[in-house]
Structure 1
Amino acid sequence: MVDLNPSIPNSSPATISQSELTDIQTKLKEQQVLSQQLAAQLAQVQAELATLQAQFDQRLEAAIAEYSLDCQVRCAQTVVHQGVQSVETLRTLWTIERGQGQDDHDGALNKEKELSELKSRMIRTISHEYRTPLTVISLAAESLAHQYSRLNQKQRQNCFQQICRATQHMNKLINEVLWVSQAEAGEMVAIAQPVNLIQICRQSIDELAILHPEDGVRIHFHPQGTAVEAHLDPILLQQIFTHLLTNALKYSPPDQAVQFTATLTPDQGLFTIADHGIGIPPEDWPHLFDCFHRAGNVGTIPGTGLGLAIARKCVELLGGEIEFKSNPGVGSCFTVTVPRHLPA
């Protein structure tokens, strides 16, 4: 007979020694401590990330608020408004200076045509000069807004620098247009004070070198004479030198030097700035100092056509004269003569 209930041998559970149990407990405690340390480090990292995010949000909000496109568009509208006022002032000046004794119909039509062309040049120049910096600001702001986490510190800093440079360029254009408008309205006056003429020349060179170090090397300065002290407006003087030097550098090959000579006598200061650049075509000579006028051979070289107009107005406020000689393809030389003291 078969036994249907076979006996099952007894099996005792495996025993763990006290030393093994102690090792396991020790390891569990070590893992628990490690987990706590990792949790603390994770919390610290999260706090740092939250701080960085808050700082970025503040900087981004400030940057976008300061350099927003809407703000720049409003600035552009202000420029156009001020420019139109300047044009209306020019209309009055031209009527007084050129319109006396010219009441014929053809003369009136020619003046209207000149005025229309000036307005067109002004709006075209402002629109063109604003397009590039606005694009730079837009792209840099979008990169900061949407790709901040992907950008390293150097790339982020570069975006902010691009925004700053573009804004500075736009502010420069606004200031130039407003300055011309105020000058044409008779609101600009020379304020005489003791100045060192050689020092003013060197300051103008140094300021250009700060923006573009290579330009400072290209300018060769030649002071002549010992009558360096004068009683003039240093701001107007520096405006003259800065605009003339900027043009000489801009319209010359980068490997060509610009000669800056200051000849000082007891009666006057005579300054010449000569370059070996593209020169000025003769057909542009009559309008060279007109606002927003640019020579026909400038090509794609950027510019507003205001630099020479501002320089001439500054020279006139100082009671001086400005002349030039130019040969297309050879270069240009501008000569500024100012008295040692402002005329009474």
Structure 2
Amino acid sequence: MQEKILVVEDEIIIAFDIKSCLEKAGYIVPAIAAHGKQAVEKAAELHPDLILMDVMLKGDMSGIEAAAEIGHLFNIPVIYLTAYSDQTHLQKAKTTQPFGYILKPFEETQLITTIEIALNKHQIEVVMREALEKEKENRAIKNKFVSMVSHEFRNPLNNILTCTELLSNYSLHGNDEKRHEYISHIQKSVKHLDNLLTDVLLMSKDEPEKLQFNPAPIDLEAFCQDLLQDIQLNANENHKIIFTVHGRLANIQNNLSVVDSHLIKLDAKMLYHILSNLLANAIKYSPLGGNITFDVFYVSGEVIFRIQDEGIGIPEADQENLFNSFHRGSNVGNIPGNGLGLAIVKYYVDLHGGNVSFASKPGIGTTFIVNLPISN
């Protein structure tokens, strides 16, 4: 590919001599600019690979000022042409970080050699910059995941704290059934924390894409009942969760290959993240209490979850960025949170190959719908 070089020189004879020299060496000269403003305009129009810029140009904008503006707007290397070698001009030129200087009068060999060195140097810088951006992107993805998982530690830790407090009370009253129930909750929460730590270790060693969707047969209704017990432990007594299953797996059994009529194949760990965050949000953003409905629909090829609250709702201006990390609604006030819950939901729904959508109106409430394909 032939490189394009923009020549900026107000002495027309010198400009055409440079153009002839460059074209003889195999370069393309798409234009010659005679003053600084024209140089900026041609740089924007032509996107040359390199600019030969005379330091002293006639008009309101010097070559150094033109190079500074081009450097600010475009990533194009500049080589200065100058008849001046005094320190004042050189110091001013250095501030624009040029890729070389050529003193007039110059030899053709000197001109071509300086251009080749500048083009190679610029190409190396481009490659290094792209590698650096890629590294930053990879780090950002890992940091995002670690933040998301750290957020997930709160629910099981709260469960453990609540159960230990309740255990201390029931120990005094000798209620063995309740003790066993709360011990079971503690054990499940500890296992959940262990799974989260496994994910963190995985992300610290490898690319985030390596976190795979791993479906396994689960009894979905029993899974949801267990989840609701965990959620209800930390819910205000004024919040009531109404759980309903619509249809049964038997209605779509002909389309699936599963081991039991009550089992479907989903990633239980991801599903716990998805539903627990949506239910926790429904409770958190319904400060006056009220009902929360949790519906499961079995349809052909997928299962649908609908979680509806009567809470504060989401302002329309916030809805576009709702699934972005750290974004929170402008109406949340002093309600605690860090804007990661819905980012976690979206992350795991995407890994699941599903879809999450919502409808919301401030002061009325919010409905989230999650569609997850049932894996064979």
TM-score, scaled relative to structure 1: 0.47
Larger fraction in helix: 1
Higher Rg of the two aligned structures:
1
Which structure has the highest strand share of the two? 2
Higher relative contact order (CA 8 A, sep 6+): 1
